[in-house]
């Protein structure tokens, strides 16, 4: 499967080291690759009741779209959905540079057949899934032999602010939106059924301050991102989940994005070679672990803009344009950084109206719902996206991770009997188990990498 190359990227290095025997392991098809193809196919007889999606960012949008293929009604609640085009204020990384791996692109195309045309209309760039990353200046090897020239799957390069708006637009344009109700408001909590086996109702506070109670709840999906509100709501409603179900460590990451305005006249002055225009990062650089944990990359984004992202595990990041090139050149490397790249940054810092967005990335966390003892989770609860797992964003896996869980959810729902009045009691256990199997490697891989940095504060215990 095409998109496998990105999830396999880290493993690929190991495979090369370990020799040909590993090749088979790397290239084995996983169940999710088969199930990915089942996304976006509406079922004939819908499941009874209303599916409530808490949070309407990326996970909420993808989940609402999937659930609309399965349930009679979907309700999507988020305080920032009143005007979908308005910049989001509750997402710290809204102005941060993002990449969108081909797994996300492939899955989203299944959900929205007009994905490409809508993204191209706002001048989003669909480019071959070649990251353009150098490790200490040395180009990371691509699996070229598996993809004869030009046939890499596509990934997307665009500002997050633009992608977020386009995804919301895709959701409301799709025919299934006829059965999706959007409520601008904040979820306040759940009420359990009297036997505490499922969620009976969900309380919403609307923007005008009035409260509404959603009944007939067939499913509740926690898509509240960093807030991870679902866990608090479950405990408050009487579901007793183990104390240590939420694990976290702190990679101590600071992330700065510089965005540049680059009209055609300015772009013409930039010495960017043609070969660097057809990759995700025109130039991306990962510091050798023996020197430190710094990372930077330049992306050619939508609508005459470019973004330079800078990441560090301590607070030493440039704050003014004149400090940027000195910061870049202070990083030791095994191969030289190309002069065209440094010249480009110099010109952009002078003439590209640089604008800085500094963020302190929240600690990495994982609510291990799949380890909840049997029957402690309500039979109609799931969680998806950062509401479950917040990764070090260094590998740009956040959107792809949402798709992986979406695939697990979709397949389980396809196998659910529409004649039953409720979901089977083991539904969440099965969902979280599959979803965890698909994304555990992302957590382990980035975590073990982070543990190599002196500024990382590991989590307690071993798992």
Ligand X SMILES: *[C@@H]1O[C@H](CO)[C@@H](O)[C@H](O)[C@H]1NC(C)=O
Ligand Y SMILES: Cc1cc2nc3c(=O)[nH]c(=O)nc-3n(C[C@H](O)[C@H](O)[C@H](O)COP(=O)(O)OP(=O)(O)OC[C@H]3O[C@@H](n4cnc5c(N)ncnc54)[C@H](O)[C@@H]3O)c2cc1C
Q: In this complex, which beta carbon is closest to ligand X, that of residue 91 or of residue 400?
A: 91
Contact between residue 362 and residue 225 where contact means Cβ atoms under 8 Å apart: no
Contacting residues for 242 by C-beta, under 8 A, at least 6 apart: 371, 372, 373
Assigned token pair, 132: 């353009």
Secondary structure of 321-371 in HEC code, one letter for each residue: HHHHHHHHHCCCCCCCCCHHHHHHHHHHHHHCCCEEEEEECCCEEEECHHH
Told to check if 438 binds ligand Y by CB under 6 A, we report: no
Q: In this complex, which beta carbon is closest to ligand X, that of residue 94 or of residue 340?
A: 94
Q: Residue 13 and residue 20: Cα distance in Å, rounded?
A: 12
Q: In this complex, which beta carbon is closest to ligand Y, that of residue 266 or of residue 378?
A: 378
Told to check if 443 binds ligand Y by CB under 6 A, we report: no
Q: In this complex, which beta carbon is closest to ligand X, that of residue 158 or of residue 436?
A: 158
Within 53-112, which residues bind ligand Y (CB under 6 A)? 54-60, 77-80, 90-91, 93, 96, 98-100
Instruction: Kindly write out the interface string for residues 139-178 of this chain, putting x where it contacts ligand Y by CB under 6 A and - elsewhere.
Output: ----------------------------------------
Q: In this complex, which beta carbon is closest to ligand X, that of residue 123 or of residue 329?
A: 123
Interaction site with ligand X (CB under 6 A):
46, 72, 95, 122-123, 159, 175-176, 178-179, 259, 261, 303, 305, 355
Q: Residue 93 and residue 200: Cα distance in Å, rounded?
A: 34
Told to check if 365 binds ligand Y by CB under 6 A, we report: no
Among 179, 193, 359, 440, binds ligand Y (CB under 6 A): 359
Angle at alpha carbon of residue 379, lines to 375 and 380, rounded to 5°: 155
In whole angstroms, how far apart are CA 432 and each of 117, 354, 423, 426, 444? 34, 43, 15, 10, 17
- We find the least distance from the C-beta atom of residue 277 to ligand Y, in angstroms, to be 19
Q: In this complex, which beta carbon is closest to ligand X, that of residue 303 or of residue 329?
A: 303
Assigned token pair, 425: 């009691």
- We find the least distance from the C-beta atom of residue 353 to ligand X, in angstroms, to be 7
Within 185-244, which residues bind ligand Y (CB under 6 A)? 186-187, 223-227, 229
**Short-list 58, 76, 112, 171, CA closest to 404:** 58
Residue 300, binding choice from ligand Y, ligand X, none, Cβ under 5 to 8 Å by partner class? none
Q: CB atoms < 10 A from the CB of 181, how many?
A: 14
Binders of ligand Y: how many residues, by CB under 6 A?
38
Angle at alpha carbon of residue 259, lines to 257 and 265, rounded to 5°: 155
Assigned token pair, 9: 């990227």
Told to check if 255 binds ligand Y by CB under 6 A, we report: yes
Q: Residue 9 and residue 445: Cα distance in Å, rounded?
A: 11
- Residue identified by tokens 């691509």 is 142
Told to check if 386 binds ligand Y by CB under 6 A, we report: yes
In whole angstroms, how far apart are CA 125 and each of 1, 122, 262, 277, 279? 22, 9, 15, 10, 10
Q: In this complex, which beta carbon is closest to ligand Y, that of residue 325 or of residue 362?
A: 362
Q: In this complex, which beta carbon is closest to ligand Y, that of residue 77 or of residue 266?
A: 77
In whole angstroms, how far apart are CA 140 and each of 120, 123, 287? 28, 28, 13
Q: Residue 59 and residue 42: Cα distance in Å, rounded?
A: 19
- We find the least distance from the C-beta atom of residue 411 to ligand Y, in angstroms, to be 20
Told to check if 361 binds ligand Y by CB under 6 A, we report: yes
Assigned token pair, 65: 């779209």
- We find the least distance from the C-beta atom of residue 69 to ligand X, in angstroms, to be 8
Residue 358, binding choice from ligand Y, ligand X, none, Cβ under 5 to 8 Å by partner class? none
**Short-list 63, 139, 147, 68, CA closest to 102:** 147
- We find the least distance from the C-beta atom of residue 298 to ligand Y, in angstroms, to be 14
Contact between residue 27 and residue 355 where contact means Cβ atoms under 8 Å apart: no
- We find the least distance from the C-beta atom of residue 273 to ligand Y, in angstroms, to be 23
Told to check if 358 binds ligand Y by CB under 6 A, we report: no
Residue 79, binding choice from ligand X, ligand Y, none, Cβ under 5 to 8 Å by partner class? ligand Y
Residue 443, binding choice from ligand X, ligand Y, none, Cβ under 5 to 8 Å by partner class? none
- We find the least distance from the C-beta atom of residue 42 to ligand X, in angstroms, to be 6
Which one of the spans 49-57, 315-323, 335-343, 449-457 is the region binding ligand Y (CB under 6 A)? 49-57
Numbers of helices and strands, H then E, in the chain:
14, 21
Q: In this complex, which beta carbon is closest to ligand X, that of residue 106 or of residue 160?
A: 160
Residue 229, binding choice from ligand X, ligand Y, none, Cβ under 5 to 8 Å by partner class? ligand Y
| Contact residues: ligand Y, CB under 6 A | 54-60, 77-80, 90-91, 93, 96, 98-100, 186-187, 223-227, 229, 255, 359, 361, 385-387, 393, 396-400
């Amino acid at each position: 499967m095409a998109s496998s190359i990105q999830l396999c990227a880290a493993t690929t290095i190991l495979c090369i080291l370990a020799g040909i025997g590993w090749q088979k392991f790397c290239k084995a098809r996983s169940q999710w690759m088969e199930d990915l193809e089942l996304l976006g196919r509406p079922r004939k007889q819908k499941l009874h009741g209303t599916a409530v999606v808490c949070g309407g960012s990326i996970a909420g949008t993808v989940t609402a779209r999937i659930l609309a293929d399965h349930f009679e009604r979907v309700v999507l609640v988020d305080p920032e959905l009143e005007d979908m085009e308005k910049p989001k204020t509750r997402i710290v990384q809204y102005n941060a540079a993002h990449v969108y791996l081909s797994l996300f692109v492939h899955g989203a195309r299944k959900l929205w057949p007009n994905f490409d045309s809508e993204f191209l209309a706002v001048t989003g760039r669909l480019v071959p899934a070649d990251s353009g990353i150098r490790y200490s200046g040395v180009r990371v090897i691509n699996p070229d032999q598996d993809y004869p020239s030009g046939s890499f799957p596509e990934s997307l390069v665009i500002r997050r602010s633009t992608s977020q708006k386009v995804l919301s637009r895709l959701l409301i344009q799709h025919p299934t939106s006829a059965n999706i109700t959007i409520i601008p408001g904040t979820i306040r909590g759940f009420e359990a059924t009297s036997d505490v086996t499922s969620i009976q109702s969900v309380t919403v506070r609307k923007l005008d301050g009035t409260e509404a109670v959603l009944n007939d709840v067939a499913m509740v999906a926690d898509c509240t991102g960093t807030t991870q509100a679902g866990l608090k709501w479950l405990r408050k409603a009487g579901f007793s989940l183990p104390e240590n179900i939420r694990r976290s460590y702190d990679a101590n990451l600071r992330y700065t994005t510089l965005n540049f305005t680059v009209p055609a006249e300015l772009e013409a002055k930039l010495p960017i070679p043609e070969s660097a225009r057809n990759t995700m990062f025109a130039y991306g650089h990962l510091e050798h672990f023996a020197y430190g944990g710094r990372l930077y990359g330049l992306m050619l984004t939508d609508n005459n803009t470019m973004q330079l992202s800078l990441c560090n595990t301590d607070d030493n990041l440039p704050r003014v344009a004149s400090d940027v090139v000195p910061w870049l050149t202070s990083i030791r490397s095994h191969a030289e950084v190309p002069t065209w790249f440094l010249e480009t940054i110099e010109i952009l810092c002078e003439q590209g109206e640089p604008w800085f967005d500094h963020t302190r990335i929240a600690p990495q966390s994982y609510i291990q719902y799949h380890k909840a003892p049997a029957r402690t989770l309500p039979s109609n609860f799931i969680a998806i996206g950062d509401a479950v797992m917040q990764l070090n964003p260094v590998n740009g896996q956040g959107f792809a991770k949402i798709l992986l869980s979406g695939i697990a959810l979709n397949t389980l729902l396809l196998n659910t009997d529409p004649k039953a009045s409720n979901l089977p009691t083991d539904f969440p256990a099965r969902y979280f188990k599959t979803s965890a199997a698909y994304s555990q490697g992302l957590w382990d891989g980035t975590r073990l990498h982070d543990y190599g940095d002196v500024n990382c504060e590991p989590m307690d215990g071993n798992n």
